[in-house]
Each structure stands twice: as structure tokens, then as C-alpha cells.
Structure 1
């Protein structure tokens, strides 16, 4: 890819033109958010702290909305409403989304057995993880892994 870009740049620097429709596409693997880019454009401190807590804890522990709400100064119902107004979805949906993303990353990037992933994430059983995954994605973990593992290897 780099050689092709250098070749095209050399052509242009020598005063020659290239066709405008010359498009180079690069397949991407996963987008991995670094801590420095994993910031929130939310000015509300309660929601920002809640999202940070969910993203830190939910991948390894099945937290409940009541635990997150207890860290704020709001009642459970007030917290749910406040969070939803700022995020466009409920805190429960955020917890599920974060846990699902962790499972998907584990399936794509490792050969760990479902039982290990379930244990690491504190699911009650591998079957519980599989039911959660199927409910959220429409496919079983094994199918997801076979479809997406090493798909974008260059």
C-alpha cells in the first residue's frame, strides 16, 4: 500500500496527472480506542462518570444499573431518565453494549473457549453467555467467531 502511494505521489510531483477516479481502499481490522481518544463529548459530569465506570467495569463484571446510579446523587429513576436524555439510550443498554463488545473482541482476537470468556466476564455459565450473545446479535458465538475471526488479516 505504501509503495503504491509513493508511486502515485512521485507521478504527481513530476508534473504528470493521474486519473481522478484512482481510488485506493484499505480494509480495516478493528478500531481500537486508546485511552487518549476514548473521551466523551458529554458536558454532564454525572453521565460522563457513569459511562467511564460502565466501560471500566462491565467488560469483566455483570454490573446493574442500580450500582451505577448509586455512584451518582440521583435516584434510580432520575438517573435512568438523565442518562437516557444525554446518551440517547438507557444505562442498561450501555452495559449490554459494552459487555457485547468485549465478547465480540474476545471471539475475533483470541482462540479462548466460550467457557473461559464466560468465566472471565463472570457470566453464570457458558450457556448464559451464549444466550445473551444470540439475543443481542442473532447468532451463536461459534458462528460469529467463524465469520469474523481473521477476516481482515493483511
Structure 2
């Protein structure tokens, strides 16, 4: 029997951690049962265990307690390690789980695969296992992650990444989509379909774009870039060119681009698009304005161009977005 280890962070847990652990354990347990159902002639293929460095961990002012089944030192070989979501005080969480990080790194070197959920990616990145690789995490943690781990290729819009035996996923309860993805990898497609139906989880979802709320990266020290960001955000209806921005702030075009990308993680054009589309999303969610009216208000005159940018950023068309989030909107 092969082994799956679900990590219980050492005192660095919150309610999302509990959800990740419980949901993962339950789905894998059901996958095991389905695989070895009477008449199949098969045995349960995986032993699933909760492991950590403490016998039990209190969560949410000890409202909930998670009891580990074994200490990590007792596991000499595991095949898959699941790292759940971590607390929002990321740096504190990393320091408090140094023993776990070292163990995860050693197990990976010995052939184990690793899957991180939501902000669990911070633990993986702190071990250096994501350097030069693609990674996903909760969209709201993207700026902090980029600042802490500049060597990692963060894919903030992706729901799941799969690279060299390391799986990561986006935020919150999207961990369920990762678990279904792993069930298909570790069992088969039919078992994944069965679990998706039992737990009512959408199959094959790959993006968290529709859920992202763009706020802009402003935790940097470049005052010129902050002024440029403020100008973009205050002039939604304008078609702002990079040449106009760079000349406005008396900076050469190439230097302006370089500083803007370094500070925000986006090119000036990408940033302007995201600001405009975020405003458009709010208008489509809360008003009865037509798509064309919203489009003009954020500086677009070409319907095709607006739809393409909107879909690129959200993963759906403006009409699809309004249909999902605004039930009272007039159908046009």
C-alpha cells in the first residue's frame, strides 16, 4: 500500500487549514472505498495519514482541535504530501514550521510528490522547491508572494499548476478542485468523476480569474510608479499610452517600463487593462448598464477588443460575467 501524507501545520492554522485537511481526507477516503468496492477485486491503494510535529493542534482560539495520526519522523517514505492552507501571517507561519519544511524537502528529494493548497505554497517556496517553477496561490496573496519569492514564476490566474511532481492551486475552497485533479492522477478518471459527483465539485476547472479582485500592487517604494498608478486609476475613460505616461513623469520609455514592471508585476498596459476591467466588473455586477455603456465608460470603443481583454482577464465574456453575478440585470 502506498502512502499519502496530509500535513498538519504546527500552530499556524486557521479555519481554511481545517477545511483543507478535512476535505482532502474525506475525498481520498471515498476514492479508496470506490476503488476497492465489493466485486472490484482491488484493495485500497493508499494509506492516508495526518502527520505533523505535534500530537494535536488548536485552531481558532482552540475552538477546533486537529489530532495528528503520526509524527513526521515516523514516516520514512511517502508518495504524496498535501500541504494545506496556512495562516495569513506568512512569515510567522514559515518560521513556526521549519521542521515540517525540512522534512518535506527531504521527502521530495527521495521521490515524493507534493501538493500545496492556497497559501500552503508559501511553505513550499520557503524550501526553495518552487524556484524557477510555476506556482499558484490565492489571488489576494499574490503581491506578498512575489515580494518574498521573486525566483518563483507565480501564475496568479491559474487554479492548478503541475510541474515536476509539484502541484499548487489557487485560493480558499478551490482546494477541492485540486483534490479531484489528484484523484484522477493517483487513481483514474472514473474515480475522479465519481468523487466529483458525490461531492459536487466541478471537473477540469483551471482558472481562478473570475474570482480575482484586482487592487494593484502598491507595497513598493517607487513614488513615480505610485503616481502613475494613481493617474491610470483616476482616468479610466482615457486611452492612456505608455509614451504619454513616461513623458508625463519625465522618464524614458524603457526605464518607465522597467520600473513599472518591477514595482507592480504588470506592464503599464496590463495594469491599465486590469484597472479598467475591474471597474467594468463592478458596473456589470451592480448596475443595469449595457455592456456597450460600460465599455465606453472605461475607455474602449471597439466591442471586439473590449470582449477580448475582458475574457483574457476574467475567463469569460462580459455577458457571461453579468449573467453570473447580476441576476437583476436587463438582458440585452
TM-score with structure 1 setting the length: 0.66
Q: How many residues align?
A: 119
Structure 2 residues without counterparts, runs of 5 or longer? 1-61, 65-212, 328-332
- C-alpha distance in structure 2 between counterparts of 1:121 and 1:51, whole Å: 15
CA shift in 2, pair 1:125/1:72, >3 Å: same
Q: Which has the higher strand share?
A: 2
Question: Does residue 47 of the first structure (1) align with residue 256 of the second (2)?
Answer: no
Alignment map for 1:1-154 (pairs within 5 Å): 20-21=63-64, 40-57=218-235, 59-149=236-326
Partner of 2:182: none
Higher-Rg member (1/2): 2
Q: Once the two structures are superposed, what CA deviation does each residue of 1:48-77 show, in whole Å capped at 9, x if it has no partner? A: 1111111111x2222122211111221101
1:84-130 deviation digits (Å, cap 9, x = unpaired): 12222221111111011011111101110112112222312333322
- From the two aligned structures, give the one with the greater helix fraction: 1
Three-state SS of the structure 2 residue aligned to 1:122 is coil
Query: 1:60, 1:122 within 8 Å by CA — same for their partners in 2?
Result: yes
Q: Contact 1:115/1:125 (CA < 8 Å) preserved in 2?
A: no
Normalization by structure 2: what TM-score? 0.33
CA-based RMSD? 2.7
Distance 1:99 1:39, change over 3 A: closer
SS state of the match for residue 86, structure 1? helix
**For residues 4-61 of structure 1, what are the alpha-carbon distances to aligned partners after superposition, in whole Å with 9 as ceiling and x for unaligned?**
xxxxxxxxxxxxxxx824xxxxxxxxx8x8xxxx99433222111111111111x222
Instruction: Give structure 1 stretches of 5+ with no counterpart.
Output: 1-18, 22-30
**What SS does the aligned partner of 1:123 have?**
coil
SS in 2 for 1:111: coil
Contact kept, 8 Å, 1:54 with 1:95, in 2: the verdict is yes
Partner of 2:124: none
